[in-house]
Chains A and B, each alone.
Chain A
Amino acid sequence: MAVISLDGVGRQFETSAGVVDALADVDLHVEEGELVVVLGPSGCGKTTLLNLVGALDAPTSGRLAVAGHDLTGISGGDLYRYRRHTVSFVFQNFNLFPGLTALENVRFGADVAGRRQGEAVAEEVLAKVGLAERATHFPAQLSGGEQQRVAIARALATGNPVLLADEPTGELDFHTGVQILGLLEAQAEAGRAVLVVTHNREISRMADRVVELSGGRVVSDGPPAGGRAPAGSLRW
């Protein structure tokens, strides 16, 4: 059974200039252990899609369920519980807490998800992204790539089954971006459902599956064109 399943999902925005169809009639299913990249130009609806899955926003039409939770009519306490225990986010601009150290930022993920031994979990996860020796550094003392790794560690520390990453490589150079995507891929292999958004077609070649969006609609869904490429063969 798919962990993430969207059936005919649409999201309309009412603006003073009229109604904007950010997403229309989207069908998308992501399995456990699968890394799916959503690809498309700016403004095609990628972030909107991710926000729906993360329950930061609600669809105006269609059905949406994640890990057995029907998100169509979710509200109140369930909403926060869902966010704490089901999904976790990695953002384009990291959004680390500047007042907390790298380790504490990671620990935040474990804490909100209510995991026991948050400290140990955080240390373990931070080591997994290769930043054990930067534990006491504050975000401002880290490079962009390191900050994003901390952000990923924070998302992983929640232990939640669904990982959502919105342009996680957008702020980074190509090489660092590939590293980051490698990390995400490893998460999928470890059994999570990973949904990554990017506008970078080259990077999307690392995925099992690429869903292409255009004007809020899915225009293609399948393995990357030319087949899945190992990280080393990607070129900028």
Chain B
Amino acid sequence: MARLGLWLRWSLRDLRARWLQVAAIAVVIGLGTGAYVGLSSSSAWRHDSAAASYQELASHDLRVDLAKGTTVDADRLRAALRATEHPGWIEATTVRLLVPVQVDASRDGEPLLVSGRLVGVQLDGPGGPAVDALWSRSGRALGPSDDGRPVVVLDDHFAAEHDLRGEQELTLGGSVAVTSVGSAISPEYFVVAGDGATAGFFGARTFATMWTSLATAQEVAGLPGAADQAGVLVAPGADVAAVQAELEAALAAALPDAAVTVTPLTEQREYRRIFDDIDGDQKLFDVFALLVLGGAAFAAFNLVGRVVEAQRREIGIGMSLGVPRRSLAVRPLLFALEVSLAGVVLGVAVGWWFGTALAGLVERVLPTPVWDTAFQPAIYVRGVLLALALTFLAASWPVWRAVRVTPVEAIQVGPRATRGGGLAPLVSRLHLPGGSLGQMPVRDALRRPRRTLLTALAIAAAVGLLVGVLGILDSFVATVDAADVELSGTSPERVTATFESFEPADGPTVRAVGESAEVGRVAPFLRVGGELAAVDGRERFEALVDLLPLDDAVWRPGLVAGSYDHDRPGVLIAQKAANDLGVGVGDDVVLRHPVREGTGYRWEESALPVLGVHRDVYRGLVFMDLADASLMNLDGIVNAAQVAPVEGATHEDLQRSLFGLQGVAAVVPAGAFIEAVRSGFQQIMGVLQLVEVVALVLAVLIAFNSSSISSDERAREHATMVAFGVAPRTVVGLTMVESALVGAVATVIGLGLGAALLGWLIHVLLPSTLPDVQLDLAISPRTFLLAAGMGVVAVGLAPLLTLRRVRRMSVPDTLRAVE
């Protein structure tokens, strides 16, 4: 025991003697551990927070929907909900009326005309409905006194996006004036909703959800007493599936003529998306977490290795005194353990910071009422143990190497202690300018090729991480730019006007649009929602199908393959869709689409050939020829129009002009789509920026530490130079050149690593996280410059930090110290 005490004291003395380097290694390990635990714990608290948020707002467990476009009497619906076999299994219910509306939120001459939905709710809870409560984000909440009054609360996503928080005047359907008294978020709208077909495509900018009293909604819709949806909160302990069955039976009995579906919350798309997103993000985060941790472990290995190497002689002396290797390993291992421990302790703090920053980011993108970012002890313990094991193991290897040498090798001093020239002889015939001093940087770098390579690799890892991270950002930007170029195309100022209903291609709305001021060209088209699938049915995703007059469109998609010409109906699909479905031009795909039947629709699946592959980045965008609308039994029918302004007018002029036109539901500029793509990347970008900071700090710390250790190792050489009258700044200048050389090699390796990492991320990982978007690998010149700047300049400058030490070095003491 007394022995162990000695080793412990000794190793602590080692720590103190090198406290600056130890601190730097600890920070490296801390950053790695912190990023790791911070990133890897995020899905746990995000899951918990999302679940708690649903609970907090008394989200329904089951939702009752009437067939689209139908309603029943609200009291009959309520009564039916109460008529289940076990009413005690139901804690509370609420009924609603959803009214599609056109929303005019223009202010101060800024036109804003979008599709929207007015949700009439029971005002029986503190801030609105008791079930599916509204979480107030600005202004005031709805209260019982608002019943029947023209007062609404806006969806906060939309309000925030358009700066419409607080009190606002809105016009619904062209004529109904309402006052928005605040903004709120409801559990069904944690993620931005759309109106079915376009859901998820256009995001928060172009769809406005509003809540009001049931009576107000009924009045706006002209449907007194009607309701078309209900939320059911199941009592604690009751089985949701059993309640669903009972509800289905009760509703069928009470409302035999209505088509009613009952859906559990857990099967609703919005709910699933939240949790799927969390899991998808986690995959990406885990990759970065492991990369950062791996880089840090490698750095720790490298740095501890060099510290241990400095103890080689002492180890050799111990050996020659007959101390067993096991015991000799104790001191450096203790040192490694202490460094790792200090690192992970720091890591817990970094992890907490990282987690908080991450939570802030996630919360900004997905605001929900409960953010329980509580410390996740289990995950932290796991992460910390992993980091500890990894860094300790990494640090142990050099220890093992050091105690494996023979004592003779270890204690060599004098003539042989200087060791071989490494790879330096390779360049001994290569004479660089600058006399003997000019040779030193290259020679010194090559003298210990293994060590130089390890240092370069550690820096390369950080550079690679940086390139990978920045590369994703570049790829996002490139994608958005590509989408921008493609979608703006020849008519960047065009708008898409969607109509309130279907009408003939020469119907009144089309005519009215054509006759409006500022309107240049009008191309009416048909937009329907659907699904695109592989013929074998294995891959399937949502689609937004635009049937354009391909030969006469204001804008039509650019093609990378195939052509617009065709003799039978076919589809133009995105490159990403073609890849995911494994098809090319001429192959068949399955399109699920509506077919008009009487006054309603039925769904049908048609096998259609791929006519062409278009350039859009969103895989769900499908284009067909309007002439093929017969496939849907909609010949000559349209529900939207591409509108180009007259020469010199802007999309804003158009919006203003089409504003309030009878039959127009929304006017959306072409650029709105780009905004949606952009905001889809927002969250990941934020996280990447965090990782970017970590990578930068890592690289600089690694560079600093290795030059600090180098400067220790070279103290004697430096002292000799100073004794011969070489100025400290020249001495440090030489190490800077050497460091920059190593940094340059590291940058080249790092760029390679980064490109490989980026390729993997873009082609393998991200497609499963962001399945809807086609990402093309891009590395911008800025990224190259930053990587080179960090790898060569920052690393090259790192030795400057040792200038003070060289200046203050006591030459006699340094030279006296017989190693």
Contacts and interface: CB of A to CB of B under 8 A. Distances in A.
A220 interface: no
Interface in B409-440: 413-416, 418-421, 424-425, 428-429, 435-437, 439-440
A105 B436 contact: yes
Interface in B533-586: none
Nearest to B437: A111
A212 interface: no
B435 A118 contact: yes
B82 interface: no
Interface in A45-99: 47-48, 51, 54, 56-57, 80-85, 88-89, 91-99
B811 interface: yes
A56 B812 contact: yes
A132 interface: no
Contact of A83 (B425, B429, B725): B725
A112 B731 CA distance: 12
Contacts of A104: 436, 439
B157 interface: no
B720 interface: yes
Contacts of A105: 436
A104 B717 CA distance: 14
Interface string A96-134: 111111001101110111000010000000000000000
A124 to B, nearest CB: 15
Interface in A127-182: 136, 138-144, 147, 158, 171
A100 B443 contact: yes
B818 A93 contact: yes
Q: Is the interface of B mostly helix, strand, loop or mixed?
A: helix
Max count, chain A CB within 10 A of own CB: residue among B415, B425, B437, B812: B415
B432 to A, nearest CB: 11
B607 interface: no
A99 B447 contact: yes
A95 B720 contact: yes
B815 A95 contact: yes
Contact of A111 (B435, B717, B719, B816): B435
Nearest to B442: A99
A101 B723 contact: no
Given A118-B436, A142-B415, A112 B425 contact: no
Given A104-B436, A105-B436, A98 B724 contact: no
A153 B186 CA distance: 86
A143 B443 contact: no
B415 A98 contact: no
A72 to B, nearest CB: 17
A109 B722 CA distance: 12
Contact of A140 (B416, B435, B721): B416
B93 to A, nearest CB: 83
A84 B418 contact: no
Nearest to A89: B723
B716 interface: yes
B279 interface: no
Given A56-B723, A100-B436, A105-B436, A47 B812 contact: yes
Given A56-B723, A97-B717, A109-B724, A138 B424 contact: yes
Given A56-B812, A89-B723, A112-B725, A98 B418 contact: yes
Contact of A108 (B716, B724, B815): B724
B414 A138 contact: no
A105 B440 CA distance: 10
Contacts of B720: 89, 91, 95, 97
A104 B414 CA distance: 20
B721 to A, nearest CB: 8
Nearest to B726: A112
B56 interface: no
Nearest to A81: B725
Given A97-B717, A99-B424, A138-B424, A107 B415 contact: no
B219 interface: no
A71 to B, nearest CB: 14
A95 B717 contact: yes
B249 interface: no
Nearest to A111: B435
A96 B415 CA distance: 10
A27 to B, nearest CB: 22
B216 to A, nearest CB: 85
Interface in B716-768: 716-717, 719-727
Contacts of B723: 54, 56, 83, 89
B189 to A, nearest CB: 68
B818 A138 contact: no
A148 B443 CA distance: 21
Given A100-B436, A144-B414, A95 B716 contact: yes
A109 B725 CA distance: 10
Contacts of A143: 415
Given A97-B717, A142-B415, A91 B725 contact: no
B314 interface: no
Contact of A93 (B414, B420, B725, B727): B414
B444 interface: yes
B436 A111 contact: yes
Contacts of A54: 723
Nearest to A147: B415
Contacts of B818: 92-93
B57 to A, nearest CB: 69
A54 B811 CA distance: 11
A111 B418 CA distance: 23
A57 B723 CA distance: 10
A99 B727 contact: no
Interface in A166-209: 171
A163 B681 CA distance: 71
B214 to A, nearest CB: 85
A94 B815 CA distance: 10
A122 B723 CA distance: 19
A88 B725 CA distance: 9
A102 B187 CA distance: 79
A99 B435 contact: no
A18 to B, nearest CB: 19
Nearest to B447: A99
B447 A171 contact: no
A98 B440 contact: no
Nearest to B413: A93
A107 B437 CA distance: 9
B734 to A, nearest CB: 10
B420 A158 contact: no
A203 to B, nearest CB: 18
Contacts of B419: 98, 140
Nearest to A157: B436
A140 B421 contact: yes
Contacts of A98: 418-419, 421, 447, 717
Contacts of B415: 94, 139-140, 142-144, 147, 171
Contacts of B816: 47
A56 B724 CA distance: 10
B725 A100 contact: no
A141 B425 CA distance: 11
A101 B812 CA distance: 25
Nearest to B815: A91
A85 B725 contact: yes
Given A56-B811, A136-B428, A140-B420, A158 B724 contact: yes
Contact of A84 (B413, B435, B725, B812): B725
A91 B724 CA distance: 12
14 contacts: A88-B724, A91-B815, A97-B440, A97-B720, A98-B418, A98-B717, A99-B443, A100-B440, A105-B436, A108-B437, A113-B725, A143-B415, A144-B415, A147-B415
Given A83-B724, A98-B717, A139-B418, 20 more contacts: A54-B723, A56-B811, A56-B812, A80-B727, A83-B722, A84-B724, A84-B725, A84-B726, A85-B725, A89-B723, A89-B724, A94-B414, A95-B720, A97-B717, A97-B720, A98-B418, A99-B447, A101-B428, A104-B436, A138-B420
Enumerate the 3 nearest inter-chain pairs by beta-carbon distance, A residue then B residue, closest first.
Answer: A84-B725, A83-B725, A99-B443
